[in-house]
Amino acid sequence: MSNATALSVKDPYLDNQPKGNWINGRYVAAISGETFESVNPATGLPIATLARSGAEDVDSAVRAARAAFRGSWSRWTPAERQRLLERIREVLGENFQELARLDTLEMGAPLSRTMGMKASAQATISYYASQVYAGTGQTVPNSLPGSVMTMIVKAPVGVIGGIIPWNGPLSSVWWIIGPAIATGCTLVLKPAEDASLSLLRIGELLQQAGVPDGVVNVVTGYGSEAGSALSSHPDVDRIAFTGSTETGRNIIRASAVNIKRLQLELGGKSPDIVFADADLDAAVPGAAMAVYRNSGQVCYAGTRLFVERKVYSEFVERLKVFTETLKVGNGLDPDVQLGPLVSRKQLDRVLSYIDIGGQEGAILAAGGCRIGGELANGYFIEPTVFSNVTNDMRIAREEIFGPVISVIPFETPEEALALANDTEYGLGGAVWTRDVAKALRMVNGIQAGTIWVNGYGQVDAAIGFGGIKMSGYGTKGGPAHVDSYLYHKSVYING
């Protein structure tokens, strides 16, 4: 395993990083005056001090968002909102390198990955710019007596609460900002405590792009404090959340206060099925990076890797060889492919599951250790492969959220499908085969919101993705996503 040299955490922008929340177009300190530190997971050292917000801070942001919603923002035309989104796209492009560096410093992903999000982030904004007329109503014929005109009118739901995950804030946030601005809603964003810097900077950049004060607000803090207050706030009309299933349940309970609309993207334990007739030269690295991408910290990672028995031994060996070629290290090193885990807590969690896998009888085929040497102070772990895994082991059933692959053999397509669906989750899934009929059978049979064939992880805002079962509900992307930021008015006009 090759390790990158640890780099300095010094960054010119961080010296001037504001410490407050972004509310109504300016930075304000937490009302309590409390703060917390953001830590670089590559070094274990603090890099910024952020506002530790509570219910009062969230309330301040919600009031700003509500005032903006009722104010001049409500009079912006679809064409004006479209031009604004196009300007946001331009400003994002001009400042993306800075934002990518902030994400790398704070949550560890290699700069090659965070910079690589530029095209998809801009494409996402462009898609939502194309959807500004989604609020167009329609006249509808009716069977009422007399002269009655009937129509359906769509209107923005109001104030949106967006709770952003730490594993990809720079990409995730546009799936909320985009439809909110396209439909005329306003926003209060609560970034994860492990990754807040890029979202605070985005608040500033949106103002530069012409977003009116109060339309987008950013409140930092802990999920149990600021996140909980946002979820239960009676003047928030919709919550968009990406995160754990446990937190999702709490948000569902909190939403009862005013019957909020919810869109929840929760946990996953996605099946990745490789048949013997697959192109193994593509399937081996494809299945590996379906887990290792972002150091395994992706909700739809294909962590349950089902391989047909005919090629099982060969596949495990090739997977081991590929795994050992990957370079792990500080994300600021341009040659690094995998960065650290986001926190010491996450590192301990992943290491505990590696211990559990060995105790359950799985065979450690590659990796499995924390990386020491020059990287000892960071939260680095070797990408890990377990073979001899059965679908009832904890490492095959529980979300680890780290670079750990469980390779499970199967004999027939029927068995593969039964194993794939034997999970409480339903976020993603994939199949590798040259047989179109077999591929379509898996596509139709796998119970998940997003399915890939001979690839893994591609996402586009026009198509979208989502989950079922314990992986949440509400599609992100596509016309249905935009429509969920609107409500329908049925109108009857007597002549």
Tell me which of 106, 193, 299, 308 is the catalytic residue.
299
One-character DSSP codes across 116-145: HTHHHHHHHHHHHHTTGGGG--EE-----S
Burial of 171 (0-12, 13-18, 19+ CB in 10 A): buried
The residue assigned the tokens 């739809």 is 300
- Closest residue by Cα to residue 99 from 120, 121, 114: 114
Burial of 236 (0-12, 13-18, 19+ CB in 10 A): buried
Per DSSP, 477 falls in state: S
Give the C-alpha separation, 238 to 185, whole Å: 10
Please list, residue by residue across 407-440, b when 16 or more beta carbons sit within 10 angstroms of its beta carbon and e when fewer do: bbbbeebeebbebbeebebbbbbbbbbeeeebbe
What Å distances lie between residue 448 and 66, 236, 242, 490, CA to CA? 36, 29, 16, 34
One-character DSSP codes across 144-198: -SSSEEEEEEEEE--EEEEEE-TT-HHHHTHHHHHHHHHHT-EEEEEE-TTS-HH
CB 364 within 8 A of CB 384: yes
Give the C-alpha separation, 292 to 282, whole Å: 15
- 94 flagged as catalytic: no
CB 57 within 8 A of CB 97: no
Give the C-alpha separation, 389 to 123, whole Å: 39
Give the C-alpha separation, 450 to 446, whole Å: 9
CB 456 within 8 A of CB 298: no
- Judged by phi (left if over 0) then psi (alpha if -120 to 50, else beta), residue 349 lies in alpha
Hey, which residues does 291 pair with through a beta bridge?
none
Tell me which of 225, 265, 308, 399 is the catalytic residue.
265
Residues 55, 57, 60, 62, CA torsion sign:
negative
The residue assigned the tokens 């937490």 is 30
- Give me the helices (H) in 423-494, please: 436-445, 478-483
- CB atoms < 10 A from the CB of 35, how many? 17
Structure tokens at 161: 């609460």
- 265 flagged as catalytic: yes
Residues with a known catalytic role:
265, 299
